[in-house]
Amino acid sequence: MVSITGGQKTGFFLDQREMRRKIGELAKGKRVLNCFSYSGGFSLYALEGGATEVTSVDTCKKAVKLAEKNTEINGYKNHKIVQEDVFSFLEKEDLSRYDIIILDPPAFAKKRQDIEPASRGYKELSSHVFTRCKPGTFLLTCSCSYFIDQATFKQIQFKAAAPTQKEVKILSNHIHAMDHPISLFHPEGEYLKGLLFYIS
């Protein structure tokens, strides 16, 4: 279920299809935390893939209602949906409970002047996970900010992970799904990037 008239973008983020599929492949028998969950796309893929439990967090009441409705339609019971600011949630949550953590926030940098505060935001989110997750955690972290390019986003993750002295491996890089081609004459269309980490 999507909200075409009142939802974000077209009501559903189709550009994340391949990343959702990857989470579904990894989810069997695992506990999943989906931050900035919107209508529950990643969460539903994880549940369909056999996750034992999924927690979804979003600050938007309308998004939470959509996630609840989608959970009901699909008949899932092991889905906890929390309406709360993600930054506040991560500060107090026991992140060692989870096997897979997804960070898929809205665009933090909508103009070039936003790069510095956006970088701090992305770093803060990932720092919570790198610092307090358990060994064996998968982290999928994404950015849909055009002004944060792939190299910059990877450097932000390095700065977040380095102080922990944990072993962090990049399992895969993700970009737009195939139905989101990038015009050579519209470089701003190359906005989405994601990194799947394994933290040991």
Catalytically active residues are 144
Query: C-alpha dihedral over 146, 82, 158, 111, to 10 degrees?
Result: 20
Say if strands 193-199 and 168-174 run parallel, antiparallel, or are unpaired: antiparallel
Instruction: With beta carbons less than 8 A apart as the criterion, state whether 157 and 179 touch.
Output: no
Instruction: Give me the half-sphere count of Cα atoms (radius 13 Å) on the Cβ side of residue 109.
Output: 24
Q: Which residues pair with 198 in a beta bridge?
A: 138, 169
Edge-to-edge strand order for the sheet containing 168-174?
Answer: 79-83, 53-58, 31-35, 100-103, 137-143, 193-199, 168-174
Q: What is the DSSP letter of 51?
A: -
Assign 143 to helix, strand or coil.
strand
Which of 32, 35, 36 minimizes the C-alpha distance to 76?
Answer: 32
